[in-house]
Amino acid sequence: MFDGGGSSGGLSFGGDYNPEQWPASVWADDFSLMREASVNLVTVGVFSWSRLQPTPDTFDFAWLDEVLDGLHEAGIGVCLATPTASPPPWFTRRYPDSMPVTRDGVRLTHGSRDTYCVNAPAYRAASVRIASELAARYGRHPALRLWHVHNEYGTWCFCSHCASEFRAWLRSRYSTVDALNDAWSTDFWSQRYAGWDEIEPPRATQYLRNPAQELDYRRFLSDSFLRHYLDQKAVLAGSSGGVPVTTNFVLGDWVPVDHARWSSFVDLVAIDDYPPDLAGRAFSADKARGWARAAGHPDGRWLLMEHAPGYTHSSSGLRRSAESLSSVASVYLDRGAVGIMYFQWRASRGGAEQWHPALVGFSSAVTSEAVDLGASLVGRTPSVVSADVAVVYDEESMWAWQSPHLPTRVDYTSLVQSWHTSLASSAGGPVDVIPVGAPLSAYRMVVVPALYLMSAAAHEWLRSYAGRLVITAGTGLVDEHARTTPDSLADLIGATIVERDFSPWLDTLAPTAAGARPNVTYIPSLDIIDLEQKLLP
């Protein structure tokens, strides 16, 4: 069990700490300021690969020894990151085939971060090597509380390494090319494949791409990242006798990572969260807890690994939050967070994020709010949340709704978030955001908004639920291979959909002889309805 608070069962408070950006003379100030702010956990080393391994065959741990020892003396725990999200320049030059290639075929060069292809053999080997060095040196360090693998998995790549790994992944998923042809509907537009080697990643092409190929590519990337994570997890876990291992999930429609599936492979679900408002924060928090609980983490425990202190990003620029650090933290703590962590501790002096807000060196008002918040968290323990209403959020449906070939544009994440907000305000208590397949027996009501993609297993899962099931339009339109599934809801809702208007969405229903299951309500539009007031007895 994660014990990030230093004293058993307490809350963690802190954030990303990048001491390599500062002369050592600043570190002592940092440690004493951290103590003043009751910081008990900092994430170190996320972007420090070029300092830790300055050349292919040399390592320099002296500075990190000093930092970890100093933190330990100050009573501050360490969430130690592997730096694999940002390979150093020597790596790029030596292994240009490890740089990511865009959909358009452009190979990127060094100069930012996330410049890697997760399937490149040299990158995979170099990642395990640096993780092994860190594991050997710090696996038993007394400050170590948590391993943080990589940073925000999600970098897309379409290179030839990915192409051959994609073929291998497809082979194990489908066994035969005929099965793949069937799943991908390749008789449409003469895409039928005669052999595995004809299959490519969904790179830039002339017009609309095959939606099944696109979906499988996201699943494949998610599994490729997972393999990279598990390679590192194996060496870290083996060296440190029970220190939990995690990575920070980044939330966003562009991310090719299936977080519900991943949640079974992390020892603690951890998210980074940068929404514009409190409703967005509540949605992220309830989602993180939903993933954690569905994956069997005790009490659905999860950690807020990063958020921005005191400011939010808006289309017009950085804006000072109307809410204090403490009211923002409450949104997460009330929803079961085991810690409140920020990006970042000290504002960077230079570099691409020098104007990113930080706890120190950006706004003295933010620093003093952080000191107050830290003090108020001492001695507190995480809340255990139990909700009796849930809303389903499915990342595969989110991916599928992004396809440009659909009859209308639906912003699936915003739609589910609006349902979540409405349910939470009318239920007057927490609402779980759950993935497909999560246990349902604790809920009196489950709402399923626009679950576009519905496999036979997902259908069975909904059928097995005996409580009030509310399904909205846009649900069950295709199977897991993006093939249409007419009448897939008929047995649940007691009707077939004989016509659809798409703007605004409105289904016309024809009742079946068998009728609806008594516990099921169907909403034929994408409107958000106050269910407690209007629909329920």
Q: Which residues bind ligand GAL (CB under 6 A)?
A: 151-152, 250, 272, 274, 306, 308, 343, 353, 356
> CB of 305: closest distance to ligand GAL in angstroms?
8
Residue 15 or 474 having the CB closest to ligand GAL: 15
What CA–CA distance (Å, rounded) separates 444 from 391? 12
Whether residue 270 contacts residue 246, with contact meaning beta carbons closer than 8 Å, is answered with yes
Structure tokens at 409: 């544009």
Structure tokens at 465: 């639920």
Catalytic residue among 165, 306, 369, 396: 306
Told to judge if 152 belongs to the known catalytic residues of this protein, a careful annotator would answer yes
Question: Which of 99, 107, 156 has the alpha carbon at shortest distance from 126?
Answer: 99
Beta carbons within 10 angstroms of residue 102's beta carbon: 14
Residue 217 or 343 having the CB closest to ligand GAL: 343
> CB of 208: closest distance to ligand GAL in angstroms?
31
For 80, phi and psi rounded to 5 degrees? -95, 125
Question: Which of 356, 353, 280, 259 has the alpha carbon at shortest distance from 323?
Answer: 280
The b/e string for 422-446 (b: 16+ C-beta within 10 A; e otherwise) is bbbebbeebbbbbbbbbebeebebb
Long-range CB contact pairs, 524-527, < 8 A, 24+: 524/473, 524/497, 525/472, 525/473, 526/410, 526/415, 526/449, 526/450, 526/472, 526/473, 526/474
For 497, phi and psi rounded to 5 degrees? -100, 110
- Alpha-carbon 102 to chain mean position: 22
Residue 152 or 395 having the CB closest to ligand GAL: 152
> CB of 17: closest distance to ligand GAL in angstroms?
12
> CB of 327: closest distance to ligand GAL in angstroms?
20
Residue 359 or 392 having the CB closest to ligand GAL: 359
DSSP per-residue letters across 118-177: TT-HHHHHHHHHHHHHHHHHHTT-TTEEEEE-SSS------SHHHHHHHHHHHHHHHSSH
Residue 277 or 532 having the CB closest to ligand GAL: 277
* Residue nearest to ligand GAL as judged by C-beta position: 343
> CB of 21: closest distance to ligand GAL in angstroms?
12
What CA–CA distance (Å, rounded) separates 526 from 515? 23
Residue 82 or 422 having the CB closest to ligand GAL: 82
Residue type, 321: S
Told to judge if 396 belongs to the known catalytic residues of this protein, a careful annotator would answer no
Residue 167 or 356 having the CB closest to ligand GAL: 356
Question: Which of 453, 467, 482 has the alpha carbon at shortest distance from 536?
Answer: 467
Instruction: Output the CA torsion 132→136→138→144 (10° steps).
Output: 70
Residue 43 or 119 having the CB closest to ligand GAL: 43
> CB of 151: closest distance to ligand GAL in angstroms?
5
> CB of 423: closest distance to ligand GAL in angstroms?
28
What CA–CA distance (Å, rounded) separates 447 from 380? 33
Catalytic residue among 152, 165, 214, 369: 152
> CB of 519: closest distance to ligand GAL in angstroms?
41
What CA–CA distance (Å, rounded) separates 55 from 50? 8
For the annotated catalytic residues, the residue numbers are 152, 306
